[in-house]
Copies of this chain bind each other. A is one copy, B any other.
Amino acid sequence: MKVDFDGIQAFVAIAELGGFGKAAEQLHVTQTALTRRLQKLEAYLGLKLFDRTTRYVELTAVGRDFLPQARVIVGEVTRSIEGLKDMSKRSHGSFTLACVPSMCAHILPEFIRQYADICPGNRIRLLDATSYEVRNAVLNNFAELGICIMGERNDELAEIPLFDDRLMFFCRDSHPFSNKSSVSWSDMSRADLIVVSNMMATRVVMDYQLAKRGIRLSGAYEVRHHATAISLVAAGVGCAILPASTLEEGDRQGIRRIPLVGPVVKRKVVLTKRKKSTLSPAADAFFNLLKDYRFEV
């Protein structure tokens, strides 16, 4: 059983244009070739699709029945194929990007804007999730690319560092530290400290790096989202330790962002993909955009 698409295509063209000659022209082959293609199809089916003499061509009853189906087939196939070719030629298409919420707010909007310039019309399905979930989404092919926090090494994943996101101290204007140019970890008082939940990658990184220096920190409050922490700070609940990317100094009225030292702790924001998986042209274009970008810290 060897299905003959050429024959079906020839059939539709002949039926549509009412003759072998015109159909041949449209398909860019000689009329001889078309005759043969149709003959082959008819022989294979054991049916005549056209009643024809040398002077005219007319569908048989069977041909009339088949025409709509054949039209659908030809349409479906050429549409799909052309879509894919277009995809490869012009990086057209859509892809899924998994990204931690903090980066969705920080670097992503700018990149999406740039990407839209390069690949207009492309859609990005954005999956905002925790760093852990992002990595899993990429590993399981739910997302082609991920932006997350560098964590435990995984052989299946390729990770391209984007930038270092330094942890900072956030407090209100009225806080005693508000005019200091830097704050040390040892200055922290547990009483009013807001930290990220220890389920989150940022916290894991922080605890690990502090532990190496023998520092152990715990806050009075734990939250999952950076935005929540900022809200609490603004409301006067306390001070927070958060990545610098959460908020630029001066971005929000009444809230100060002060560098933390002794030691300087950073989380590494990475772009990640599965090593094994070939990116779609759409994702690849995005990947290339980010990969070589020079971040000013």
> Which A residues, 1 to 27, have Cβ-Cβ distances below 8 Å to chain B?
1-6, 8-9
Contact flag A88-B45 (CB < 8 Å), given A61-B279, A64-B141, A76-B73: yes
Q: Does A280 contact B (CB under 8 A)?
A: yes
Q: Looking at the complex, which of A46-54, A103-111, A171-179 is the stretch in contact with chain B? A: A46-54
Neighbouring B residues of A73 by C-beta, 8 Å: 73, 76-77, 80
Q: How far is the CA of A122 from the CA of B192 in the complex (A)?
A: 84
Contact flag A66-B51 (CB < 8 Å), given A5-B3, A141-B61, A278-B60: no
Neighbouring B residues of A281 by C-beta, 8 Å: 47, 62
Q: How far is the CA of A80 from the CA of B69 in the complex (A)?
A: 7
Neighbouring B residues of A141 by C-beta, 8 Å: 61, 64
Q: Does A207 contact B (CB under 8 A)?
A: no
Q: Does A170 contact B (CB under 8 A)?
A: no
Q: Does A248 contact B (CB under 8 A)?
A: no
Residue total for A at the interface (Cβ-Cβ under 8 A)? 46
Q: How far is the CB of A239 from chain B (nearest CB, A)?
A: 43
Neighbouring B residues of A77 by C-beta, 8 Å: 3, 5, 8, 73, 77
> Which A residues, 51 to 94, have Cβ-Cβ distances below 8 Å to chain B?
51, 58, 60-62, 64-66, 69-70, 72-73, 76-78, 80-81, 84-85, 87-89, 93
Q: How far is the CB of A69 from chain B (nearest CB, A)?
A: 5
Q: Is the CB of A84 within 8 A of B5?
A: no
Q: Which residues of A are at the interface with B, using a C-beta cutoff of 8 A?
A: 1-6, 8-9, 44-48, 51, 58, 60-62, 64-66, 69-70, 72-73, 76-78, 80-81, 84-85, 87-89, 93, 95, 141, 144, 276-281, 283
Q: How far is the CA of A3 from the CA of B77 in the complex (A)?
A: 8
Q: Is the CB of B65 within 8 A of A70?
A: no
Q: Is the CB of A45 within 8 A of B85?
A: yes
Q: Is the CB of B80 within 8 A of A76?
A: no
Neighbouring B residues of A80 by C-beta, 8 Å: 66, 69-70, 73
Neighbouring B residues of A70 by C-beta, 8 Å: 80
Neighbouring B residues of A87 by C-beta, 8 Å: 47, 62
> A66 is contacted by which of B47, B72, B84 (Cβ under 8 Å)?
B84
Q: How far is the CB of A6 from chain B (nearest CB, A)?
A: 8
> A45 is contacted by which of B9, B65, B81, B95 (Cβ under 8 Å)?
B81
Q: Is the CB of A65 within 8 A of B280?
A: yes
